[in-house]
Amino acid sequence: MKAHQITDSVYAIHADIHTDARFEGIWPIPNGVTLNSYVVKGEKTALIDLAKDWAGSIGQFDQQLASAGTSFEAIDYLVLNHLEPDHTAFLIELRRRNPKAQIVSTPKGIALVKNFFKITDNLREVKTGDTLDLGKDTVLEFFETPNIHWPETMMTFDRKNGILFSCDGFGSYGALGERIFDDEFTAEEHAFFEHESLRYYANIVASFSSFVNKALDKLGALPVKVIAPSHGIIWRKNPAEIVSRYAKYAGYNTGTAPCEKEICVVWGSMYGYTRAGLEAVLDGIRAEGVPFTIHQVPDTDASFVLADAYKAAGLVLAMPTYEYKMFPPMAHILDLFERKHFTSKKVLRLGSWGWVGGAKKEYEERIASFKWTSVESVEWQGVPSQADLSLLTERGRELARLIKEN
């Protein structure tokens, strides 16, 4: 595998990761993920971002660096936009192989280099507006973008070539293969990567949407020609597309962009009685013509639930009472909704109970701070009656009408 040339002096180095191991130890990556780094050459050479030795990634990096006429041992600067270990775990070995390379990061990034990796020499702190002159008119400018999605993060701008190296910003799940640029993929493939970028955002970045908005404002005036993230497609033809996408995602839970006029249905059922009630709700939603996605928990991994629920204006949460409280897989989903700031949704909760209820009480306590508009809950004991089913259908229609008015 060879490095991909972005310009005469900039190369993309990337590894495709295919593994059963989860991203961040939590999120499944059935279609893989990329680790992208970049070589920028002037009179000096900078490597922007690194990787961990994961599923053969460093072997892929070594091979591509050689094809770009350099190596880990030959670089002069290592620019670390973000210190999370998927971009830095190889740092100790790199320092052993190349002790002369200066490590460049924000003050908080350098603190992590010292405290996390125990490297204390040949370090350089940079802040917003600072630059690194590589020679041959190649200047890197640095912009602090804290909390996208760690406090130390920054983005690096190549003034000469108009390339924004954005690390986890503008990233996506999904391995790329030998094609890495946006103009190399079909419309169908872009639809796949759009969903993977949404899932990545909902899983990794959604908690920090207000900081995404701040970064978009800060970087808006830059003459960006290429956006080069550390996961996913490199945008050389239409970088405005991924910027627009991220602005929309950030708006879903900050109010700067509307959620989609659809409903995400999340359900769990112990013996089928809650599922029977849910079917009546779905009849009501269908009658109003509002699109919906549906996920059963715990069968569907929370990663995929988050993606659809994050963008949807409406939610249906169907759960039985379990040991006087919510069905545990649904409690886990609500915990993630809270962590990721799923606010301002229109929501219907329903569920059955056996000896006694309890899910409703715990649920209402948990969502008190969510700023949700709730359609009145429906609960019933055991098998739903015809009256229960009729009420559930009407509640489904009521929620769907709220979404259409949204």
Q: φ and ψ at 396, to 5 degrees?
A: -60, -40
Condensed to tens digits (0 to 9), the pLDDT of residues 264-291 reads: 999 999 999 999 999 999 999 999 999 9
Q: Minimal CA–CA distance to 181: which of 116, 225, 120, 124?
A: 225
Can you state the angle between helices 302-311 and 328-339, rounded to 10 degrees? Answer: 50
Identify the CATH assignment for 4-252 out of 3.40.30.10, 3.30.420.40, 1.10.606.20, 3.60.15.10. 3.60.15.10
The string of DSSP letters for 150-174 reads STT-EEEEETTTTEEEEETTT---S
In whole angstroms, give the CA distance from residue 295 to residue 266.
5
pTM to 2 decimal places? 0.96
What is the structure's pLDDT at 53?
A: 94
Task: Give the pair of three-digit tokens for residue 364.
Answer: 């209402």
The letter for the amino acid at 211 is: F
365 CB burial (10 A radius; 0-12, 13-18, 19+): exposed
Q: Which CATH superfamily is domain 264-405 in?
A: Flavodoxin domain (3.40.50.360)
Digit-coded pLDDT (tens) for 290-312: 999 999 999 999 999 999 999 99
pLDDT on residue 1: 81
- For residue 186, the model assigns a pLDDT of 98
pLDDT on residue 97 = 97
207 with 131: CB under 8 angstroms? Answer: no
Radius of gyration (Cα) for the chain, nearest Å? 24
| Domains of the chain, residue spans | 4-252, 264-405
The residue ranges of the chain whose pLDDT is under 70 are: none
